[in-house]
Structure 1
């Protein structure tokens, strides 16, 4: 592959928490048509809010184009109906909408470059956001929405270097091994399907990422932004962020709620207090019967995550992230992204 362009490592992780799967649509209304989404009955009328979450994520990335990466976090939670992940669906929305008129092509623009997506042609000075947008294919609940992108951050950072170096990156690594037909059909995904194709074998860029990560100290974020519903703010800032041992003082939360009416909003807040915040307050890591079963029902496969993601780290770094992944609140080791980690190292 071409030699990497010298660029600073990302330090800011922006996470958009996914809530449903956009299948794609051949009609003109696309993501605006709720029938093109896989949603639960209680989510009726909320897909426009999910689009607003996506827009907020891209807007945050545009404000931090040199230091941040954006991750759409959500696994394939409805495998009985599609193997597409929530994160892939959100990326498809961002590409379909060509958000904010910013370039969303994978390649870095030059004076002779032509955008590879349906984006508006850009000048050489236009920031290219697409190389900085990634998908977490694994998360199945709100705790994992935070933890798993944090664990994958070094992989995303290394792949960013490969993308900016001119590599042709087809896979949105780290990604599960799926075939193109598993991801989405032409009928459901439209013209953007090719952007989401993942291959069963690693690309050259993936191999370079693995090689670089196995011999270097992983890069961890120093700043975190989370985008989800406003009524979940306390759940994330009081429970999830402290549980993964990321500093709350360096975390920004952007909450956007659906337009609930004055009667339903208190019901939603009370429901989250009992079944959302309350459940996680009693079981911070989601390892008890109730939250663990929900995770399994949504397709969580810890074995696959360990092989496909943790297996790409150096042995010493792998031990660090495995300890965090397996945390039950009883070990006193530091998470690799905690500030003191810079002193003891996590590389080979």
Structure 2
């Protein structure tokens, strides 16, 4: 009996082995076959499937990395300690913010940025010589009358700021000359103070009266009595409450606009609602049609009180009609056409000019003091990209222009992107820092 049972068991085992073999080789429909689940669960099948999945994931990862390297907008790594440039938004390093006082009382209502663009450096010691070339650091082409125009720009900027209590005047221009360590902006500021022009003061400040005659002897000496003899150094009791400041890093007209917006944010804790630029009349097209569009600032909009969101006030040299026409033609060839193709001035001749105008290797601070626009400050599209290279991401002023959430330049971006870009509502919350 025992041998017979053993034989039956052997036959059954053989039948099962035969059935599995048949099933694994496509004979699942025959007696003794196993299900599809059992076949895929067999050890060899699990190993093969795992290899296929791993290869698939590796190929997908490789394609994504290749796409990132080829098409990523940011060619530079984000600041140390930050995962991405996006995480840089809204972040100012603690060691910087801890050493900066809050914005001055009375600046919270300022919303009008008045920019006076610098062109040279006033270096005179006597205000009576402000119209003489030898008291300025000039390029050769600026000699013979341009310094009178520079002073007119200062006067116009002060006039516009005095007329509007919500305006902040910013003189913009960097340390552009190798034979002077003063910035264009600082020299304009000093000239404005030394000329005895009416200075706009912060409403409610103790320094609304700029006369130093009533100040104590200690206050007067703290101003620097002997320094008054030097018109190149601005000294005045209560000068810290003047509704004007400097932007000391711009190296060209595009940076005059962008950096002044950043400086407004740095000084007040918020961004402006409207902008007025004072400069040469022949540069109006450059600012309105190119620079404002590059930063996507609406040049055609109005605020709720009816004020224009952007204005350009042009004051040209007092020269003949023929000389004036020559200036306008030169502007078209030497500047406008270059910025038309390279709107951010980060390639070719425009980049070279910035390098030439930065002999002492200055770095602007606005990546930290205006972190909401860090990406814009670092934006550099491909050469000759023109409008196609327009900065496409959200900006703090997108939702503040006309209530639509879009500026003129932003609408063009939205059109080109087929409506895929949506304004970021978090920018609506940007205001005075506490």
Query: Do the two structures share a fold, i.e. TM-score over 0.5?
Result: yes
How far apart in 1 are the matches of 2:199 and 2:369? 35
Q: What is the match of residue 134 of structure 2?
A: 35
Q: What is the match of residue 14 of structure 1?
A: 114
Determine which of 411, 414, 425 is the counterpart of 1:343: 425
Unaligned runs of at least 5 residues, structure 2: 1-100, 229-237, 301-308, 382-388, 400-404, 406-422
Q: Which structure's CA Rg is the greater one?
A: 2
Determine which of 127, 136, 151 is the counterpart of 1:51: 151
Unaligned runs of at least 5 residues, structure 1: 119-126, 158-217
Q: Go from structure 1 to structure 2 and tell me whether the alpha carbon gap of 1:322 and 1:261 turns closer, same or farther (over 3 Å shift).
A: same
How far apart in 1 are the matches of 2:142 and 2:248? 21
Q: Secondary structure of the residue that 2:242 maps to in structure 1?
A: helix
How far apart in 1 are the matches of 2:104 and 2:250? 30
Q: Secondary structure of the residue that 1:13 maps to in structure 2?
A: strand
Q: Secondary structure of the residue that 2:343 maps to in structure 1?
A: coil
Q: Secondary structure of the residue that 1:76 maps to in structure 2?
A: coil
Q: Using structure 1 for the length normalisation, give the TM-score.
A: 0.69
Q: What is the match of residue 257 of structure 2?
A: 146
Higher relative contact order (CA 8 A, sep 6+): 1
Determine which of 167, 182, 188 is the counterpart of 1:90: 188
Contact 2:276 2:311 in 1 (8 A): yes
Q: Secondary structure of the residue that 1:61 maps to in structure 2?
A: helix
Contact 1:109 1:128 in 2 (8 A): no
Q: Go from structure 1 to structure 2 and tell me whether the alpha carbon gap of 1:43 and 1:344 turns closer, same or farther (over 3 Å shift).
A: same
Q: What is the match of residue 237 of structure 1?
A: 288
Alignment of structure 1 residues 192-211 onto 2, 5 Å: none
Give the RMSD, CA atoms, in angstroms: 3.2
Q: Using structure 2 for the length normalisation, give the TM-score.
A: 0.56
Give the length in aligned residue pairs.
269
Contact 1:229 1:255 in 2 (8 A): yes
CA displacement at 1:153 relative to structure 2: 1.4
Q: Secondary structure of the residue that 1:245 maps to in structure 2?
A: coil
How far apart in 2 are the matches of 1:304 and 1:332? 25
How far apart in 1 are the matches of 2:127 and 2:184? 21
Alignment of structure 1 residues 262-341 onto 2, 5 Å: 262-299=321-358, 304-305=363-364, 308-312=365-369, 318=371, 320-327=372-379, 328=381, 329=389, 331-339=391-399, 340=405
CA displacement at 1:283 relative to structure 2: 1.0
Q: Go from structure 1 to structure 2 and tell me whether the alpha carbon gap of 1:51 and 1:342 turns closer, same or farther (over 3 Å shift).
A: farther
Alignment of structure 1 residues 75-114 onto 2, 5 Å: 75-78=174-177, 80-100=178-198, 108-109=207-208, 114=215
Q: Go from structure 1 to structure 2 and tell me whether the alpha carbon gap of 1:290 and 1:107 turns closer, same or farther (over 3 Å shift).
A: farther
Contact 2:127 2:194 in 1 (8 A): no
